[in-house]
Amino acid sequence: MPIEIIKEVFKDPDIQESSLRTLINGLDHFEIARRLHELSQDQKTQVFHLLDDDEKRQELIYETDIDSRLEIQKSLDLNYLAALLDKMPEDEATDIIQELPDDTQEELLSKMEIQDAEVIKDLIRYEEETAGGLMNPDFNKVRFDSRAGDIFTKIRRESNKEAIPYFYVVNEKNQLLGFFKLRDLLNIQTSALAKEFVRTETPKVKLDDPCEKVAQIMGQEHLSSLPVVNSNNEIQGIITFDDVIRAMQDSASEDIYTMVGTAKVDPFAKKISNKIIARAPWLFTTFIGGLISAWILGFYQTTLVDFAAVIFFIPFVIGLAGNVGIQGATVIVRGLATGDIQKDNLAMVVKSELSVGILNSLIFGLLCGSLVYLASEPILHTNPILGVVVGTGIIFAVSVASLMGSLAPILLINLGIDPAISTGPIITVINDILGLAIYLATAAYLFSTL
């Protein structure tokens, strides 16, 4: 691996800079960027400066983790950094500038070319994981009265530009009328006007649409780019599939790390102190949950003393309830993220998950209750009523956990909170507390009445 080679070379105190430069430029700089966090700050900076052209430096600084990027940027003169960002696509430069403090952003933008700075200022206004934050303002825009021959001539003049196979037709007010593909242009007469061969059924997204919706439309329409419009249907830019893939990967990683209560961004690059700060609140939630569970156990200590065998099945009840709750929440969260779950089928999916959870509670409640009932006297040496208690407790605890898991994501969305939290430590702790309380309450009631 390139990074392993670089690590070994840095251990050699006699290595010449020229040899190190040759080595680094002979390696895959994308792979170096992916694992740059494994090097020290000085080594990261040295690798960056030893790259032999600005294009590689741009790709390295954009593709690496945020901690490494910020460390490298601290070593750069703002004039050089501004020049470097000027040569990058505006959407990528915006992503980098957004990570900097406000005063640094302003100073950096003042040193960039006026046209680029104005575009980036517009892009910074939008949240990072929305269509506005992902869009590229550089695209093929064609007026409705443009002739096919003139459009084709312009394409040939700009043959050095990256070819985007979609052309977006606008009216005199910059409002989107439709689009056409490059192959459409090759199959018509040169005198034809754009409005005559435009495809008016144009999939599009709005500035504040989340990246999940963008990805969903791209997948449904089989398009590699989508136009972004404002509330007046004026085209503002386009989103390409590579930007969506990157955003979706980041979003998926963030959700996964949130689910288990770890850092949201670049968990492998964060310093130890940052990791502790990011994870401690989630662990504190578990700590509080443990105290509440201990209080519940104390509250029912009389029941536990009289029927100590109840304790044996607490882990089973809590584990089963927790897993069922997480299963339901994960299905809902994932469906909402991919767009498979919409308003019109949300109630059906929730009802289905509840049904599955309740049926599982009945199956395992009856199964476990029957086994405990049969084993109570010969093995556990206790009253067979324990089987009824355990089975009923499982049915109630798992049913409530299923309800929590299915409804929590929807409730959190309505409160404006990331639904991924519903499969994380908070809901897990709540399910554990509820499962324990329901199980012990059921035990106390049944033992007192039967």
Task: Render pLDDT for 279-329 as a digit per residue (tens, 0 to 9).
Answer: 777 778 888 888 998 898 888 877 667 677 788 888 888 888 888 888 888
- Position 352 in a domain: yes
* CB 209, CB 227: distance < 8 Å: no
Residue whose pair of structure tokens reads 């593709």 in the numeric block = 63
142 DSSP β-pair partners: 169
Identify the CATH number of the domain in which residue 217 sits. Answer: 3.10.580.10
DSSP SS3 for 205: strand
Tell me which of 223, 241, 259 is where a domain ends: 241
Q: Tell me, what's the pLDDT at 176?
A: 93
Answer whether residue 437 is part of any domain: yes
**Average pLDDT of span 24-29:** 85
Tell whether 409 and 381 lie within a shared domain.
yes
Find the angle CA(36)-CA(38)-CA(42) to the nearest 5 degrees: 75
Q: Are 407 and 350 in contact (CB under 8 A)?
A: yes
Whether residue 425 is found in the same domain as residue 282:
yes
User: Which residues have a Cβ under 8 Å from the Cβ of 207 and sit 6 or more positions away?
Assistant: 126, 130, 131, 132, 135, 228, 229, 230, 236
Q: Which is nearest to 332 in space by CA: 396, 232, 426, 405? A: 405
Q: Residue 314: which domain range?
A: 272-449
Do residues 291 and 433 both lie within one domain?
Answer: yes
d(CA 320, CA 264): 28
428 and 388 share one domain: yes
- The answer on 300 and 193 residing in a single domain is no
Same domain for 26 and 85, yes or no, is yes
* pLDDT reading at 366 higher than 90: yes
37 and 124 assigned to the same domain:
yes
123 in the same domain as 52: yes
The CATH number for 410's domain is 1.10.357.20
Q: Which of residues 200, 225, 241 is at a domain's end?
A: 241
Q: Are residues 54 and 197 in the same domain?
A: no
pLDDT in tens, 27-61: 888 888 888 888 888 889 888 988 888 889 998 99
pLDDT digits (tens, 9 = 90+) for 235-252: 998 988 877 877 776 666
Query: How many domains does the chain divide into?
Result: 3
**CA angle, 347 as apex, 344 and 352 as ends, to 5°?**
125
Whether residue 105 lies inside any domain: the answer is yes
Sign of the dihedral defined by the CA atoms of residues 63, 68, 71, 75, in that order: negative
Residues 276 and 407 in one domain: yes
Q: Which two tokens stand for residue 424?
A: 């994380």
Residue 250: inside a domain: no
Output the domain CATH number for residue 94.
Answer: 1.25.60.10
Measured distance CA(318)–CA(276) in Å, rounded: 28
Say whether both 205 and 283 belong to one domain.
no
Query: Model confidence at 396, in pLDDT bands (50, 70, 90)?
Result: very high
For residue 330, give the amino acid letter. Answer: T
Residues 286 and 230 in one domain: no
Distance from C-alpha of 120 to C-alpha of 105, rounded to nearest angstrom: 10
Q: Is this prediction's pTM over 0.85?
A: no
Is residue 263's pLDDT more than 90? no
Query: What does DSSP assign to residue 231?
Result: T
Please report whether residue 136 resides in a domain. Answer: no
170 is a domain residue: yes
pLDDT tens, residue by residue, 181-217: 888 887 888 888 988 889 988 889 998 888 878 888 8
Domain boundary among 64, 94, 128: 128
